[in-house]
Amino acid sequence: MARPKSEACNEPHDGASLMGMYDTINVPCPNCGKTAEFQTKSGPCNLDVYDLYNVPVDVLMDVNRHAPATCAACGTLFEVKFRVAVMEARSVIVARDAGSKGTS
């Protein structure tokens, strides 16, 4: 399913109210391995569920919005540390203003 990836969920689009919408990233507890659900609002917020290791970067960016999480099984507090090595490039074509010659 194609969808715009650059829209944050706080930006209403298509006239739909996105109040309360988010995506979920499943993160295993570092102590016992039980999966905890981390809610993120930095991506499309279509209530999609992702695995931590194949989540899109835009969704991952907000993974710690409610961190630290408490493991339901063992009580361990944990959060996600991540480093973004490669950002997706996006290009937009814009028409030059014919009346503006710029500085060159």
Write out the residues near Zn ion by the rule CB under 5 A.
29, 31-32, 34, 71, 73-74, 76
Residue 6 CB, nearest approach to Zn ion (Å): 35
Q: Please, what is the minimum distance in Å from the beta carbon of residue 40 to Zn ion? A: 20
Give the shortest CB-19-to-Zn ion separation in angstroms. Answer: 31
- CA 24/CA 18 separation, integer angstroms: 15
Q: Could you tell me the two tokens for 45?
A: 């917020």
CB closer to Zn ion out of 49 and 77: 77
Nearer to Zn ion, 13 or 66 (CB): 66
Residue 19 phi/psi, 5-degree rounding, is -55, 130
For residue 59, give the 3-state DSSP assignment.
helix
**Of 67 and 73, CB closest to Zn ion:** 73
Q: How far apart are CA 31 and CA 4, in angstroms?
A: 36
